[in-house]
Structure 1
């Protein structure tokens, strides 16, 4: 099943069911007005949405319309909880190597995760609005999952059943603001502007055999200004799978329905196409040449992020964003 949230006159948008080819959709306000409402009542609402999806697939659904990804908001435009992991430890190891810092052994056994800003997410075609290029604008291509209610202390084995939807996201970072924030030993804030979602989210069954061990075993393709930066397979080198990330996040408290858990930047060790952000590209250049030659993003740059199935069809639709400047209001 594929779902999306399209723009209307509210902050939370309108839930729609989208067909597998991402060409047709149907409004489902009589079943659920928003995706958050659906997640809150998933056991009751999901079967109704699935029935509509099957009707959409076999051509028996009425009141369909052409799906326009530019009208898609983030799947959950504002969420109760957003926690981003760093599940690809080889990526962390590489970044530390570039600055001659050792990776603590515990990073291989204890997941890294931080709580992000969930008051607003943006759509796949919304501009990335940044005030200053000097802040070091970077994209981060990730996979994410959306859960129902997760009890505190959930086991890794039981955590997997709480994964209801899968997404791909662009978790934008302002790299030149990060060092000062982390030096305070209190985490990210200013260095993390809004995160964007691909046009649709999907249930795990849509991925078929590519969803295994709560990992997505498909390439995630990042294209900057028509040049492919990387296409690492999201199922390779993922040290901690999503069940492990969820269990870690829920160790001391429950997670509410609609919680979004990110994988962190997807990366494949030793692959020439293994990067999903410019920071990693720059680290590889530093290790090889002693300095970075690839700049961070500039105003006017276009980033596209997409994942395709084994037959080459887009699964989530494409994130297609342009970096734009904004002037702060006095």
Structure 2
């Protein structure tokens, strides 16, 4: 059985099309120390629904954690999956940092801790100097991917990268030139960009990946366009909404793929897509504090983000919980999980 990357993993954990959840990092309320038992339990909850974890990403408040804390979370994620028998489900780890040097260091540390894949955001602190410097942007991902013992995914999230928005040409070029890059997460919400990259990936000239377990996946950063991008050769999404409604988002992916083969299922796929899209649009406005609040309201755990992120006010909590988009999503989630109220 092939090892994943060259970091000594003895179990093949392929990177497959589907749904991934950027896992929140949960903290103890009084100290803001890591709450690893809660984080692990949440990872297991999502994984049992077929949702693989991405730890140490934006939702995971990676930039609020030390290197050592990131490693603890990666190790906890791997153990959480192994403890429920999901030995072949991969762990993706966010390894972005300010400099190329530190990003490489964090990526290597993540691999040693058991991460199967890394996802790296563009360094945005000096966005004014980098945004229009295509050679420098490409060199960043080239250097990181070539130095990484595990495949690396590009994370395009302009709002968290000083406004740097990688276009479809540069992402495709990096895919062609860097065989250890295993995909892209598009949290820019640009459907045209998504379809252009997804088309490029299936062309005969697209460079084979260094690791056969790691094809180049084109993934959304929101779930509100999952159906149309599935029909455009897309590979799924990494969506925060899967933390709150894993059964619903898993069902949406199932329906999207099934509709490709049986068009009669498209209307049901679009019905579920509409519910998810409205909830994604509304809940995303409350960011990490809102997601943690909703998880706590629904599942009994969640807590606060690390400061300086502020918790929601009581009025904001009431508004997001009672919002029709939230309640429609939870109603469907309860139905799919068998917890519908009589």
TM-score w.r.t. structure 2 length?
0.22
Higher helix share: 2
The structure carrying a bigger strand percent of its residues is 1
Higher relative contact order (CA 8 A, sep 6+): 1
